[in-house]
Structure 1
Amino acid sequence: MKSSFSAVSGAPQGEAFHKLEREDLLSRLRFAPESGHIWLDTKRMFLLHTDAFGTLRQEIIETIGLASARGIFTRMGYLSGSRDAELAKKIRADMTYFERYAVGPQLHALEGIVTVEPVRVEIDVERGHHYGEFLWRESIEAEAHVAAYGVGPEAVCWMQIGYACGYASAFMGRAILYREVECKAQGFAACRIVGKPAEEWADAEEDLQFLRAQSFVAKPVVDYGSKKNVVAQTALKIDTSTGSRRTQSRALVGASPGFNIVCHTIKRVAPTDAPVLILGESGVGKEMFARALHGESSRADKPFVAVNCAAIPEQLIEAELFGVEKGAFTGAISSRPGRFERANGGTLFLDELGCLSLPAQSKLLRAVQEGEIERVGDSRLRMVDVRIIAATNEDLRAAVAQKRFREDLYYRLNVYPVQIPPLRERQEDVSLLMSYFLERMCLRHRRNVPGFTDRAIDLLLSHSWPGNVRELENVIERAVILAQDGSPVDACHLPELHTQKMPARAAKACATTHTPETPEPAAHVPAEPEDEPLHKSADDSAWLDTQQQSDAIRMAIERHRGNLSAAAHELGITRAQLAYRANKLGLADLFRRRS
């Protein structure tokens, strides 16, 4: 989908940008003085005097410095822009891309921040192309800054730049960086901004740093080609020297408030040696945050040893953690150190801590508490200097109450808990992760997939992600494999999400996607004894209506080139049920001719 217009004098599309009907936006703004509320759709708002905003801004600058203040306001704006993008997609779901995208500038004016005048806008979502140039007039930030500091050499509309980045990134499904190239606070008549994908800016890092809560964000925290886990910053880039799964570095990516708070929390505890307990659902990236914590600590150049407690059999846990002496048991033909010794001087990461049995917990407690271990088959105590980071997706307090977890070990490890929010509470991170995983998977599988269609972006942003970041990575990897080389990821390449409830516009569009060029005649289809509904698929998605059933069946049959048995297996139903249902829905022309 390509949308391009120019706002030069006399251009009709530029005029349309200003004259678009705004009643749908104004109707979402509600004042409820009896309850002390102002609502913009379902989000609570509030009014603030410009002078008060200017004073707050000045005090923050004077208290923490210009650079830190800029980061706070930029991230604040990014959140606001991302939330307004959700609103735009919701209230103008059936309108053109241009009409939906125009909501952002219109809301900016409606919220009293600035008036927006488009100069040049070129958007091709499917190819990942974005170029936006706008003029800002009556900027509240520029006005507040000039009142406090006068005209100066720096552009100062930080909150508004963050808004533009967050809004455009949510629409494009990739990191879009806007930069203020002229500012009224510099003496210009108006502020001018230019935006394009982050990778197209040669010096993007100068601005990207203000979108990150801490310096370790977007750095490789798992770098398999280096002895240290944290290396030079790469500004959301990955190691392109090889596409191997085993050698690709991995980075923490995010800009949501929940993500930023975790980063601040990690930064605070990193210089200490305190044990850290990382809590969060499966798939949120607990080990990634643990590696980032290690990389920010004074032990960064020492080993980081990870142990999956759930993968070690009960009878081997002591040998794995503490080591074995030669002859300790049958098969112990040589001495070997355990994980504690291998991590000496560095960090030991105990993942899936809640899976340890009570006897194993008892053995672990002394090592954690006293810093001394004893190899299996040895009587000599060995001192170890290890920082412990543990992680679990279980409620350890409940496990303690149920006598499944030792209370003394819990208090020993729970010195500094870090709670990682699930991805459904970090909506602003999804578009950044989409872009990050797309680049990784294209490199890994040697594919050229330039981006996502607008329909695919809607599906990905509206999904609740019960499997968190791991599920998103899995979905993007499958989509990259399914997509045609040189073509973007479309809704039909997201079968797990497509069969669930989706935006109406995406469902309607997908019904006509990828029709076979030469459909073959249908074989005879026997009647099914009962008109049973389709069974749920392997991912337990709900089959909500006939249109979605038709879409899912069409894609499954096309994906398997008319092979009903294979398509039925994918959908979790029998071949006879699929044949009956497809024939009833008018999809018989997709069947392969069978002899």
Structure 2
Amino acid sequence: MVQQRLIEQFNLRARLRFNIDRGEIWLDENRMLLLHARAMGALRRELFDSLGVERARGLLIRMGFASGQQDAELAKKLYGAGEPYDVFRIGPELHAFEGLVKATITQAELDWERGSFIGEVDWENAWEADSHLQQFGIGDDPACWSLVGYASGYVTQFFNRFIVFRETTCIAKGDHQCHIVGKPAEAWGDDAYLDYFKPDNLQGQLDEMREELSRLRQCAVEPAGNLIGASCGFRAAFDLVSKAASSPITVLLLGETGVGKEMFARWIHEHGSRSAQPFVAVNCAAIPHDLIESELFGVQKGAYTGAQSSRPGRFERAHGGTLFLDEVGDLSPAAQVKLLRVLQTGEVERLGDEQTRKIDVRLVAATNVDLQQAIADGRFRADLYYRLATYPVVIPPLRERRSDISLLAASLLEKYQASYHKKLQGISDGAMQALMAYQWPGNVRELENLIERGVLLAPNGGLIEIDHLFAGGAPVIAGGAGVDHAGVVGNEDEASRSRLCEAILHDGFQLQQHEAQLLELAVRRANGNLTHAARLLGITRRQLAYRLRQSAIPSA
């Protein structure tokens, strides 16, 4: 893993020091602060409320810019301890090291001689985007202003040339992930965006600030009835169903189990001209094949042993309203034939009856089956598929609409607090990060189950923690919350080092002799390569060469 290699190569963990007795945290020579992300989010919100959108953005960018410059100075100290590109990549690793974001350089055009940089970076787990979603919801603009400032400040300081990054996609505006593009400031042209990097007079006109704040608040997403989401995938699906709701067209909802197909079907019914009439739902996969025909089309008295009375099927019960056929891909071949006939004629014939009955039903079907593959396999009729697929709508899985997770979680939290008569502070940062990183095989239905479990287990007035959500603790997710505790004060690695130091401090210990032996061992392991030996020891090549001269150890 590149990140782990760089951390070990430049011994970054050793540069992070906690002095609890003095109340200090240091990264190399820079004093650091360990703050609650929730508190920083509250401060960030207050900046927007008090300063207005534009001035708050500029302040956050300039704050991040200064932080990036400091880390660049740390990285530049390590010149000579590795390849220039590896040294440059310390910046993204420090960003992750400081708990701000996981940055992956996807493209970089570097000219070390001319000090030129053009690059692109993917971001994961950006704290600022997560905070913005919790405070404001989905908006129209990117939100990672301080992180963009950091990237700009780091590269600017590293190359001694004004480099500006801009966020092109952001989960805070419904995109799948955060992504930034950086290039020299002059390459952006006469762009007003560059003004954010210039010091600003904060005494703006009050009317302008109020107008900007009002626009920001309007960015908050309102749920569409019981349908909640603002991601691009959700918006695309919702746009299609909203256009179809008022028409009689047959809608086919496609998507994995648990994505909310029935919720979409109910929304179509409730916002159409038949909303005052019945909505009848049937799960075709939950009814045995030998009963599905009588359930859908009804049964006449005496049609079979035990049929002691006539009863209407789901089609007749939905007359004038909407019939929702869930998991229609699991219908038996015989039921498919009868369903096709009903759709073609608008008439239903009960089992054991010769009389036909006219029906007026708006049909919405749904399936998680690949119907075209089922047709190729001979499991589904092509003519029925073309009847049902007049207006297909694909509902994306939850793992492809991660920006909806916090919105859904907030709504479900409110729902189950009322059900369990509890009042909670919300979901902890670690738990929310775990929810965002989880792959969601059960989609929205699984999220609903986890939130209900969390509300039940969390103490009244407290936060929902990871252990409240996931039985047995957080799922194993690379880079996820609660998974990698390397570098934390008091971890097992540090305890092992402490025990080793205690073991060698016995009578007769000589520091100079042991240091010489350690230096010689590192050089032998590195086959005489001083750069590699220095990496093993966590020092620079120049420091190693000096110590070898002092100890009179051959350097090659």
How big is the shift at 1:29? 9.0
2-side partners of 1:321 and 1:432: how far apart?
37
How big is the shift at 1:112? 5.8
**Paired residue for 1:103, among 126, 144, 147?**
147
1-side partners of 2:240 and 2:419: how far apart?
33
What number of residue pairs does the alignment pair up? 352
Q: Structure 1 pair 193/314, CA: closer, same or farther in 2 (3 Å)?
A: same
2-side partners of 1:191 and 1:16: how far apart?
24
**Paired residue for 1:506, among 468, 471, 482?**
482
How big is the shift at 1:193? 3.4
* Residues 458 and 506 in structure 1, CA contact (< 8 A), matched pair in contact too: no
User: Greater RCO between the two (CA within 8 Å, min separation 6)?
Assistant: 2
Q: Match of 1:40?
A: 120
Q: Structure 1 pair 105/16, CA: closer, same or farther in 2 (3 Å)?
A: closer
Is 1:452 the counterpart of 2:515 in the alignment?
no
How big is the shift at 1:505? 5.6
Q: Match of 1:77?
A: 140
2-side partners of 1:301 and 1:363: how far apart?
28
How big is the shift at 1:474? 1.3
Is 1:407 the counterpart of 2:470 in the alignment?
no
Q: Give the partner amino acid of 1:103.
A: L
Is 1:479 the counterpart of 2:435 in the alignment?
no
* TM-score, normalised by the number of residues in structure 1: 0.52
1:362 aligned counterpart, secondary structure: helix
1:327 aligned counterpart, secondary structure: coil
Is 1:19 the counterpart of 2:66 in the alignment?
yes
Is 1:326 the counterpart of 2:301 in the alignment?
yes
Is 1:469 the counterpart of 2:444 in the alignment?
yes
Q: Give the partner amino acid of 1:3.
A: A
1-side partners of 2:388 and 2:480: how far apart?
48
* Residues 68 and 150 in structure 2, CA contact (< 8 A), matched pair in contact too: no
**Paired residue for 1:313, among 288, 293, 298?**
288
1-side partners of 2:353 and 2:480: how far apart?
67
2-side partners of 1:451 and 1:424: how far apart?
22
Note the aligned Cα RMSD (angstroms): 4.2
Q: Structure 1 pair 377/41, CA: closer, same or farther in 2 (3 Å)?
A: same
1-side partners of 2:442 and 2:204: how far apart?
43
2-side partners of 1:298 and 1:189: how far apart?
44
How big is the shift at 1:509? 7.0
Q: Give the partner amino acid of 1:19.
A: A
Mapping of residues 178-257 of structure 1, within 5 Å: 188=208, 193=213, 208=220, 211=221, 217-219=223-225, 251-257=226-232
2:339 aligned counterpart, secondary structure: helix
* Residues 491 and 510 in structure 1, CA contact (< 8 A), matched pair in contact too: no
Cα distance per residue 1:241-264 (max 9 Å; x no partner): xxxxxxxxxx11100000000011
2-side partners of 1:30 and 1:495: how far apart?
37
Q: Match of 1:65?
A: none
Q: Give the partner amino acid of 1:218.
A: A
2:213 aligned counterpart, secondary structure: strand
Q: Give the partner amino acid of 1:40.
A: E
1:382 aligned counterpart, secondary structure: strand
Q: Structure 1 pair 381/449, CA: closer, same or farther in 2 (3 Å)?
A: same
2:277 aligned counterpart, secondary structure: coil
2:252 aligned counterpart, secondary structure: strand
Q: Match of 1:590?
A: none
2-side partners of 1:273 and 1:296: how far apart?
12
Q: Match of 1:381?
A: 356
* Residues 433 and 480 in structure 2, CA contact (< 8 A), matched pair in contact too: no
Is 1:344 the counterpart of 2:319 in the alignment?
yes
How big is the shift at 1:387? 1.4
* Residues 106 and 122 in structure 2, CA contact (< 8 A), matched pair in contact too: no
Cα distance per residue 1:488-519 (max 9 Å; x no partner): 0112223356131253663367999xxxxxxx
Q: Structure 1 pair 19/302, CA: closer, same or farther in 2 (3 Å)?
A: same
How big is the shift at 1:189? 7.7
Q: Match of 2:10?
A: none
1-side partners of 2:150 and 2:439: how far apart?
28
How big is the shift at 1:430? 0.7
* Residues 265 and 364 in structure 2, CA contact (< 8 A), matched pair in contact too: yes
2-side partners of 1:495 and 1:408: how far apart?
45
**Paired residue for 1:359, among 296, 315, 334?**
334
Q: Structure 1 pair 403/191, CA: closer, same or farther in 2 (3 Å)?
A: same
* Residues 279 and 419 in structure 1, CA contact (< 8 A), matched pair in contact too: yes
1:405 aligned counterpart, secondary structure: coil
1-side partners of 2:465 and 2:485: how far apart?
10
1-side partners of 2:448 and 2:487: how far apart?
25
Q: Give the partner amino acid of 2:228.
A: V
* Residues 140 and 219 in structure 2, CA contact (< 8 A), matched pair in contact too: no
Q: Match of 1:285?
A: 260
Q: Give the partner amino acid of 2:66.
A: K
1:336 aligned counterpart, secondary structure: coil
2-side partners of 1:376 and 1:290: how far apart?
27
2-side partners of 1:308 and 1:355: how far apart?
9
Larger of the two Rg values belongs to structure: 2
**Paired residue for 1:371, among 341, 346, 354?**
346
Q: Give the partner amino acid of 1:499.
A: P
Q: Structure 1 pair 194/505, CA: closer, same or farther in 2 (3 Å)?
A: farther
Is 1:263 the counterpart of 2:326 in the alignment?
no
Which stretch of structure 1 is more off in the superposition, 422-431 or 483-492?
Answer: 483-492
* Residues 29 and 38 in structure 1, CA contact (< 8 A), matched pair in contact too: no
Q: Match of 2:530?
A: none
Cα distance per residue 1:320-340 (max 9 Å; x no partner): 111122333333333221110
Which stretch of structure 1 is more off in the superposition, 325-334 or 438-447?
Answer: 325-334
How big is the shift at 1:183? 9.1
2-side partners of 1:354 and 1:500: how far apart?
34
How big is the shift at 1:105? 7.0
Which stretch of structure 1 is more off in the superposition, 432-441 or 394-403?
Answer: 432-441
* Residues 66 and 150 in structure 2, CA contact (< 8 A), matched pair in contact too: no
Q: Give the partner amino acid of 2:300.
A: E
How big is the shift at 1:102? 4.0
* Residues 424 and 468 in structure 1, CA contact (< 8 A), matched pair in contact too: yes
1-side partners of 2:352 and 2:152: how far apart?
70
Q: Match of 1:3?
A: 39
Mapping of residues 127-142 of structure 1, within 5 Å: none
How big is the shift at 1:448? 2.5
Mapping of residues 153-168 of structure 1, within 5 Å: none
Displacement over 4 Å in runs of 4+: 4-9, 13-18, 25-34, 104-113, 189-192, 508-512
2-side partners of 1:288 and 1:492: how far apart?
29
